[in-house]
Chains A and B, each alone.
Chain A
Amino acid sequence: MSSRLATGGRRIDRSKRLSFSFNGTKLTGFEGDTLASALLANGQDLVGRSFKYHRPRGIVAAGAEEPNALVALGQGDRMEPNQRATITELFDGLSARSQNHWPSLQFDIGAINARLSRFLPAGFYYKTFMQPRAAWKHLFEPVIRKSAGLGPAPTQGDPDRYEYFYAHTDVLVAGGGIAGLAAARAAAEAGARVLLVEQDSRFGGRSATDGVVIDGTDAEAWVAEQVAALSAMPNVDLRLRTMAAGVYDHGYVTLYERAGDRDPGAAPVRHRLWRVRAGRTVTATGAIERPISFAGNDRPGVMLASAVRDYIDLYAVSPGDRTVVVTATDDGYRTALAVRDAGLDVPAVLDTRPDPKGPLVDAVRARGIRVEAGRGIAKVRGTRRVTGVDICAQAGEGAVIEHVPCECVAMAGGWSPVVHLWSHCGGKLLWDETAHHFRPDPDRPPTGADGQGFAVTAGTASGPMDTGAALADAVEAGHRAAKALGHDKGAPRIPQADGTADGPPAAVWMMPHGAGPELRGKAFLDFQNDVKVSDVQLAAQEGYQSVEHTKRYTTLGMATDQGKLSNINGLAILSDSLGAPIPEVGTTTFRPPYTPISLGAVAGEARGSLFKPVRRTPIHDWHADAGAVWEPVGDWRRPYCYPKDEESHRDAVNREITATRSGVGLLDASTLGKIIVSGPDAAAFLDLTYTNMMSSLKVGRCRYGLMCTENGFLFDDGVVVRLSEDSFLCHTTSGGSDRVHAWMEEWLQTEWWDLKVWTSNVTEQFGQIAIVGPKARSVLERLGGMDLSAEALPFMAMAEGTLGGIGVRIFRISFSGELSYEIAVPAGRARALWDMLLAEGAADGITPYGTEALHVMRAEKGYIMIGDETDGTVIPQDLNLGWAVSKKKSDFIGKRAMERSALTDPDRKQLVGLETEDPALVLPDGAHAVSGQTNRFGQQETLGHVTSTYWSPTLNRSIAMALVSGGSRRMGETLDFSLEDGRIAKARVVDPVFLDKDGERQNV
């Protein structure tokens, strides 16, 4: 069993005891512990169950590469699933639960899968669960889903805050180990601005634990000195608990800062997503130790050799009284020494190499530790934790030479540089034949906007695993990064490390080398996803020979650790199965982020009211106070209607319409787009952008205009007003103003740049109020200041003046068929004018109306609405708006397109009005007319569809508009509309102008 040692622990502060709970049991740890070290200190070897076989799993690693120790951290709305215990700093009151088991961690029903593992090899689900057909959905899949899935799903919203940080720097150094510090110092001393980030809570990486001595001082002191020196430099920023998550095009890097994880509920910000622009990125990301593939290597108590050292040295945690070290490297001997230094037993060091030698080997032998050369592990004994190992010859098939009891097995399979950041954006790798790992190819870095490499690797991340070479590489990297950006003050000094380099590691991909199927089926590559050596071999045998096929078929490397421990070993097994060298087999793609980051951080501050902020008109607050029902229109909110007391929405709409048509109504039309187009060529430009002629418009007059895309389809409409000889005001739809303005600019700047025209979008500079109805004129006249008689301001005319003392521009235009004035007013005075109109109109029962009343009234008049009658496939001619498409102009946007055969087809859908036989029946939105035949696809043939459909309180019957194939030839025909329940509603094709065809109401 693991336990806390009486002394030591570089990181822990024994004076600060912290209490936490695991699966409801109260435990204690120390300040400086990780959750993993605290669990081990409490003898908690078993921390979770694996994904597929629900095998008992313990802690394997001490860092971000941990595949097993995933817990549900926290409670209630602050619960976070799948949190890695190894990178979770312990805090007082922490609560964690283990995952993926039922009913309990100790006794998990799902572990039956482990017994059946022979029947559940890689990809078994592709070969079965097919019969009977319905069983997949109703039986097999639900069981599979339920048994997969790891941690519990949160059930509530997230109360925490997240934010973005932005940083620009010359050099970003990712990783604050000794290489990162050395690189940062070299870059900073050369004169570059430097940002150094470290995912851990301390700088220095593993240097202190590994007993590194630099420039004659121990690593801890050297690191402290570097941190102090860097902190004192004005051009350097250092950040802990901040991980470089992803590297993107043109040198963009995201960082993930876990700012508040130790202080849940109290921290102002939980996570920060940094968006960094760096001239150069130095990846000083270190290396990860490889496990070794032997039978039972997944049992709790089997750990990376480096992790065993970490737990002893950093946290004073004994992983067990007796530790067998199994190694392919000299580095494994450091663990043997560390274990022995802690007063614990090392029954044996099993070195796969036939003739281990060198200072570390000598040191271990000198301590009286038994070293077995050419040996490996045939099998680990024990179920819920290690009880011993069976030793065999590495060269053989696994005949057991000896059984050695132990509680811990330390695996030292060699080190692989962390190449993720280098690779995210296209940096290429080399296979190192000596060290048996992939390392960055410095000649093929990820390239930036200038085509030059923007990333540089430093330290062990570059490949060299001995301290001296790594430091030299790091200093060179930092200096080179700075120099590339024009900073080359001074010459960097390379710190000197004591000691000699380790001897070359052996390549041990399978232990023993000749392991049979029984052992291979228990030798795990991917611990979390339960991928074994036999699975990769099966994939190769079945032709899944590309590394991507193997990954996907076996799920190797697809777990939440993304294969940090498993990739190289799996690749080597695949390469061996295929008889192809490893570099030929290649790697899978490294995808960001380096370790998982919270979706909250990805979203940042933009949530709730900050998610797509609402645009408000100057009269917004009045609507809110009046109890408006809101409708989102683009980014705006517009009143849909203003229900009174218990009134239904429909009743409110009908009341608003009737009041307007019989008296006077008031509409906040401020959201209408307003674009000023001016300049000597403004008229010529508008002749090109509108389908109709605008140059013939007289100053002070208004004209309804249509805009089409170059593809001929109608996309916006509105009234154009000629303000002066060379300036126009173009009204657009509410949602369309930004789009139309950008579109005008596009044509002006990229096609007709010879035209002297300026545009400006003044949508928000003006409020706009429509006063509508037979009594509209008299209300305005009472306000006074302008002559609004039919003679002075006829239909489709504009006047400027003051109204009740407020400067206004009045357009006599109508979207309702009533006498109507749209009054534009500087935004700051809009509310005042609104209030004034309400007060003055009170005697006439002035009634504010919303978008729905607007829609019904325009439909009564047969006016189209962009987005209802149009859907991106409709041309003006379809809507009987051919009159607004100029035949005289030689060119306008969309003109050529309208000549194509599909756009001149007489059978195109055309706009018609509909009157249902039953006047009380309002046709459903989008209902289709059917012919009773089937079409070429065997579908019911449709003739067209309803585009707008309303109850008209004015006509006291339903009205609708529809786009119907050859519609204008069908006047008077009765069409069959298919209702949802299959019934047919009959409707007669009529003129879409339902009300006041001669326009007498507005012509007053």
Chain B
Amino acid sequence: MKKYSVFSLAREALRYHSGWERAWASPDPKAEYDTIIVGAGGHGLATAYYLAKEHGITNVAVLEKGWLGGGNTGRNTTIIRSNYLQPESAAIYEKARGLYEGLSQELNFNIMFSPRGVMMLCQTQHELRAMQRTAHANRLAGIETEMVSPERVKEIVPIIEIDGPRFPVLGGLWQPRGGTARHDAVAWGYARGASARGVDIIQQCAVTGIDRDASGVTGVQTTRGPIRCKKLCIVVAGSSGVLADMAGFRLPVESVALQALVSEPVKPCMDCVVMANTVHGYMSQSDKGEMVIGGGADGFNNYTQRGSFQHLEETVRALIETFPMISRLKMLRHWGGIVDMTGDRSPIIGQTPVPGIFINCGWGTGGFKAIPGSGWATAEMLAKGTPGTLAAPFSLDRFTEGRMIDESVAAAVAH
């Protein structure tokens, strides 16, 4: 693999960049692999990368029905944070955030991780108390966050209106080392890293069936022919139910559309990510200058990658209340992604009822931030055949036991 650096860039410039190699190879599928990962999104590619890097397992194929990184990895609002309440969640998201810190150097691919800080606003007394609880939990989990005053919120985010008539800002939970990264680059960087270590990334290869015998999985049927495998890992956010169906089991997952939009680019006006949970909106400014805005999810099953315009209206209204200056910006484009929603809004990483088949799904609206940690934990599970410490709490059997990992401090407001 040719190393990327300012020197290689300069060298190539002199010969019109004719010497750059493919970022990842594009092999034909072999007849058999030790492990097949279905889905070349961030989570699948990261899994393949860590399988190769951490466990030396490289007889691995990542199958992708479309183009790698083309699902939710390339459609999300790129927020990275780990300020979760429950210890299980905090552990895996902080693992991910920590890996993000050094990922550009590790992959030799600038994924533009930008620890510019994430501010979660508190706009009701109830939310203030809930965030205080989270701040305590974070500190004890080794995650650097702090509760800040409305005045400090205003200092960090000058364009914010803290004395809004309806939902004044009462405080904020500030994670200074949260931030954003370039979403496509995360997929491309992992793909390049995995490919260089011998993993076969096979695009335009849709899985059409899953083969199994009495002892478990034996392979997959694809649009490029049958491929045998010993282990199969399904990492296909949005289509998890469809793949599970092929394998003959059901998942506690529903597919719904989640909305996002970007404005036209303007000069830098907001450095950090701001999340306003009471009014269901979040916003950051990309390096291009676009305001990247995330909104709500539909409540009905949907595979169209479009979603409903009214959620954007709600989100934009709410954000204009908090950021009055965005009213005169223009919406450049909006889109939807199909996300997996689980019964407790936490992900699933674990074994399935079919021996040899593993699953990673259910990240809901928050999968991007988890990619490195999720890939790392899933690779560990595939290598050892059983979930490790990080993955174990997210097993499927929690739904049987009632062992929810619920991050939504859900019961709404008080008397």
Contacts and interface: CB of A to CB of B under 8 A. Distances in A.
Query: Are A and B in contact, CB atoms below 8 Å, in the complex?
Result: yes
B320 A940 contact: no
Contacts of B326: 154, 599
B148 interface: no
A606 B402 contact: no
B333 A633 contact: no
Interface residues of A, number: 132
A978 B409 contact: no
Contacts of B16: 118, 517-518, 521, 534
Contacts of B324: 156-158
A648 interface: no
A735 B413 contact: yes
Interface stretch (B19-27, B45-53, B235-243, B363-371): B19-27
Contact of B87 (A141, A246, A927, A939): A939
Nearest to A590: B333
B412 A739 contact: yes
Given A81-B264, A560-B265, A144 B287 contact: yes
B412 A736 contact: yes
A128 B5 contact: yes
Contact of A148 (B91, B124, B184, B265): B265
A632 B4 contact: no
A734 B414 contact: yes
A606 B315 CA distance: 11
A560 B214 CA distance: 56
Contacts of B409: 871-872
Contact of B414 (A154, A867, A926, A939): A867
A872 B411 contact: yes
A650 interface: no
B40 to A, nearest CB: 11
Contacts of A609: 165-166
Nearest to A529: B288
Given A248-B309, A672-B415, A733-B413, A127 B9 contact: yes
Given A119-B13, A521-B16, A249 B304 contact: yes
Contacts of B140: 928, 930, 939-940, 942, 978
A149 B13 CA distance: 26
B137 interface: yes
B353 interface: no
B18 to A, nearest CB: 8
Contacts of A606: 317
B412 A148 contact: no
B105 A866 contact: no
B185 to A, nearest CB: 6
A546 B70 contact: yes
B288 A149 contact: yes
A632 B289 contact: no
A617 interface: no
Contacts of B113: 136
A126 interface: yes
A879 to B, nearest CB: 12
A888 interface: no
A928 B136 contact: yes
A614 interface: yes
Contacts of B159: 153, 155
B340 interface: no
B266 A591 contact: no
A254 interface: yes
B410 to A, nearest CB: 3
B332 interface: yes
A548 B70 contact: yes
B229 to A, nearest CB: 25
B194 interface: no
Contacts of A614: 166
A715 B312 CA distance: 29
A687 B174 CA distance: 45
B225 interface: no
B27 to A, nearest CB: 12
A544 interface: yes
Interface in B143-174: 147, 159, 161, 165-167
A935 B16 CA distance: 55
A870 interface: yes
Interface string B383-415: 000000110000000101111101011111111
A873 B410 CA distance: 8
Contact of A865 (B23, B165, B414): B414
Interface string A547-575: 01100110100001010000000000000
Interface in A863-909: 865-868, 870-874, 897, 900-903
Given A248-B309, A548-B67, A127 B327 contact: no
Interface stretch (B29-37, B55-63, B125-133, B216-224): B125-133
B210 interface: no
B45 to A, nearest CB: 14
B208 interface: no
A593 B287 contact: no
Nearest to A930: B140
B411 A867 contact: yes
A897 B402 CA distance: 7
B83 to A, nearest CB: 13
B402 A612 contact: no
A711 B182 CA distance: 38
A128 B126 contact: no
A858 to B, nearest CB: 8
Nearest to A162: B327
B203 interface: yes
A945 interface: yes
A897 B263 CA distance: 45
A126 B23 CA distance: 11
Nearest to A149: B289
B102 interface: yes
A373 interface: no
Contacts of A542: 20-23
Interface string A45-84: 0000001000000000000000000000000001111100
Given A149-B265, A926-B136, A939-B87, A125 B112 contact: yes
A133 B104 CA distance: 8
A82 B320 contact: no
Contacts of A549: 67-69, 184
A15 interface: no
Given A735-B413, A937-B87, A148 B304 contact: no
A883 B26 CA distance: 65
A848 B8 CA distance: 75
B268 interface: yes
A431 interface: no
A553 to B, nearest CB: 8
Contact of B332 (A254, A562, A715): A562
A786 to B, nearest CB: 26
Contact of B166 (A145, A612, A872): A612
B412 A118 contact: no
22 contacts: A127-B8, A128-B6, A133-B105, A141-B287, A149-B289, A150-B289, A154-B327, A157-B161, A158-B325, A254-B309, A562-B333, A596-B264, A596-B330, A598-B331, A599-B327, A607-B327, A715-B410, A900-B401, A930-B140, A937-B141, A939-B90, A946-B133
The 6 closest A-B pairs by CB, nearest first: A926-B133, A872-B410, A149-B289, A157-B324, A158-B327, A735-B413
Given A596-B331, A874-B411, 17 more contacts: A80-B328, A82-B266, A82-B330, A128-B9, A151-B267, A153-B325, A157-B324, A157-B327, A543-B22, A546-B203, A591-B334, A596-B332, A632-B166, A672-B415, A872-B408, A928-B137, A980-B147
Interface of A: 51, 78-82, 118-119, 121, 124-131, 133, 136-137, 141, 144-146, 148-158, 160, 246, 248-249, 252, 254, 425-426, 517-518, 521, 534, 538, 541-546, 548-549, 552-553, 555, 560, 562, 589, 591-593, 596-600, 602-604, 606-609, 611-612, 614, 631-634, 640, 672, 711-716, 733-736, 739, 815, 851, 854-855, 865-868, 870-874, 897, 900-903, 924-928, 930, 935-940, 942, 945-946, 978, 980
